[in-house]
């Protein structure tokens, strides 16, 4: 049962006021299952961006002085308001980017939990006492906010990713300017409505929508910005790094992965199949931690492949608002076309498509961007589908003679975000932990997902090395002052 859903235009939120963009132009957000308009957001200009950044800049001193405990209390209020609106926000997410309603509810609940976690940071330590060689002195460290933080987020997790950036930035004393991807901006606006009711002082929390070339790049280049946190494509992330480094501001990037799953010969095959299906095809494969390459020891390859195909045949694809739908559409026409192109590329380069990969048509499928989950075999490590991030429901099967070769294949990529192994051998899992080049290592579990209290981030081209979530977020959103005190 769905709620009555109103299609409306969402404004920017700047200096505690909702405001139309100065150009009065809007951008449509389209339901990828039906092609209906979900809502409209502002196509903001450089002038709008300047207002948002100036607002955050003017508010940063008083927000810092408020104190961590008081800031945490406001985050608790935001979490409670978000919880009251969970159903509406989850439905908005399903309508806007195609994620099934149970997944959307789960993501929104995760956002609430993240807010409460960081609200609790308001009562935790913000420094350490350090012994001094001078016994008459006191020496300690103190965390201090960076100032104005720009937050640029993708469309695939329009609630969780913004919140795991916004919540630590705010509780540690920074003011923010939040720019979501336009494909997820209606859902983001509904989250912002909850933040707006929580009681942040004027200018602390600012929300602006628009094109990446104008608003996103303008935010990165703004002289009054002190730090930027970005999740998105590698190409855009490299541009963010260059711009931020040139200005000497702090930057944090998460840019995706080509995540491997190793199935060892002593694995629980049924468990591995279930995890690969979930990790590879949930959210239509549109996760940076999605299982993309599955490397199977040849002793169990045929058994695993047969069970994987059988399990994939049971997947129901459709509008995520419907009961019993396991996987929704690709999130946009652009992403739909990208996935189709990769599937064709796989065929052209000699991989064998053994399941799915076809565009679903007829009936309700004619109104959306639906693709049947695809499985390739006879994939070699130099093929495009084994090297580039597809961000869709496509799995590449690769065969390895033993664990050593499997790990070598797994590491043969420029990315290093997430990796998992299925094995019952302690020596094998310990070798995997030591040798795999990934920031998130999972044992007998799917590659996708991390608990909110744990550090999240990758190696190599997947990230800049800093970690999001958990206590590790403090390292990015604050600077350390070392204080030496001695009596006169």
Catalytic residues: 254
Would you call 274 helix, strand, or coil by DSSP?
helix
Which residues on adjacent β-strands are paired with residue 294? 261, 397
CA distance 297 to 67: 55
Dihedral of alpha carbons 116, 117, 118, 124, sign: positive
Q: What are the start-end ranges of the H helices in 313-450?
A: 333-348, 384-387, 403-411, 426-435
Burial level of 412, CB count in 10 A (0-12/13-18/19+)? middle
Would you call 23 helix, strand, or coil by DSSP?
coil
N-term to C-term CA, the chain: 71
CB 351 within 8 A of CB 379: yes
Would you call 111 helix, strand, or coil by DSSP?
helix
Give the CA distances from residue 431 to residues 80, 263, 404, 422, 436, in Å, rounded to whole numbers and listed in that order: 44, 14, 9, 13, 8
Q: In what side-by-side order are the strands of the sheet with 175-180?
A: 17-19, 12-14, 205-207, 175-180, 148-153, 227-231, 250-254
CA distance 19 to 128: 43
CB 289 within 8 A of CB 415: no
- Name all contacts of 407-413 with Cβ < 8 Å and 24+ positions apart: 407/262, 407/431, 407/432, 407/435, 407/436, 409/260, 409/293, 409/295, 409/381, 410/260, 410/262, 410/293, 410/295, 410/436, 411/435, 411/436, 411/437, 412/381, 413/258, 413/260, 413/293, 413/386, 413/387, 413/460
What is the CA angle 432-156-100, rounded to 5?
A: 100
- 237, containing H or E segment: helix 234-247
**Which two tokens mark 401?**
């003679």
């Amino acid at each position: 049962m769905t709620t009555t859903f109103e299609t409306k235009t969402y404004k920017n939120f700047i200096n505690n006021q909702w405001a139309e963009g100065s150009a009065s132009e809007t951008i449509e957000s389209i339901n990828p299952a039906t092609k209906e308009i979900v809502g409209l957001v502002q196509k903001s200009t450089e002038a709008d961006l300047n207002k948002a950044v100036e607002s955050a800049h003017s508010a940063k001193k008083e927000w810092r002085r408020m104190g961590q405990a008081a800031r945490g209390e406001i985050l608790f209020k935001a979490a409670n308001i978000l919880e009251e609106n969970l159903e509406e926000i989850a439905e908005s997410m399903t309508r806007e980017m195609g994620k099934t309603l149970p997944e959307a509810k789960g993501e929104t609940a995760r956002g609430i939990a993240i807010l409460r976690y960081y609200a609790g940071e308001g009562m935790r330590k913000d420094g350490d006492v350090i012994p001094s060689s001078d016994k008459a002195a006191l020496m300690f460290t103190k965390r201090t906010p960076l100032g104005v933080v720009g937050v640029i987020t993708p469309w695939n997790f329009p609630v969780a990713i913004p919140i795991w950036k916004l919540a630590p930035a705010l509780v540690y004393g920074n003011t923010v300017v939040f720019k979501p991807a336009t494909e997820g901006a209606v859902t983001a606006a509904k989250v912002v409505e909850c933040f707006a009711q929580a009681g942040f002082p004027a200018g602390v929390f600012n929300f602006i929508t628009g094109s990446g070339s104008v608003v996103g790049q303008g935010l990165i280049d703004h002289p009054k910005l002190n730090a930027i946190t970005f999740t998105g494509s590698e190409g855009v992330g490299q541009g963010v790094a260059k711009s931020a480094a040139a200005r000497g501001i702090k930057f944090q990037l998460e840019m995706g992965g080509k995540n491997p799953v190793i199935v060892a010969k002593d694995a629980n095959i049924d468990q591995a199949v279930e995890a690969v299906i979930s990790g590879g095809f949930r959210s239509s494969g549109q996760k940076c931690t999605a299982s993309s390459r599955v490397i199977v020891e040849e002793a169990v390859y045929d058994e695993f492949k047969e069970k994987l195909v059988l399990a994939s045949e049971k997947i129901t694809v459709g509008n995520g608002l419907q009961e019993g739908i396991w996987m929704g559409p690709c999130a946009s026409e652009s992403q739909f076309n990208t996935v189709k192109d990769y599937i064709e590329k796989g065929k052209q380069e000699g991989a064998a498509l053994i399941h799915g990969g076809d565009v679903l048509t007829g009936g309700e499928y004619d109104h959306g961007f639906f693709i049947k989950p695809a499985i390739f075999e006879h994939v070699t490590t130099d093929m495009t589908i084994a090297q580039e991030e597809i961000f869709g429901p496509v799995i590449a099967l690769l065969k390895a003679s033993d664990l050593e070769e499997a790990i070598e294949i797994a590491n043969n990529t420029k990315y290093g975000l997430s990796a998992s192994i299925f094995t019952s051998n302690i020596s094998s899992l310990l070798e995997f932990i030591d040798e795999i080049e990934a920031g998130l290592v999972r044992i007998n579990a799917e590659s996708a997902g991390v608990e909110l209290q744990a550090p999240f981030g990758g190696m190599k081209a997947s990230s800049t090395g800093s970690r999001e979530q958990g206590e590790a977020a403090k390292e990015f959103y604050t600077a350390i002052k070392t204080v030496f005190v001695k009596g006169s």
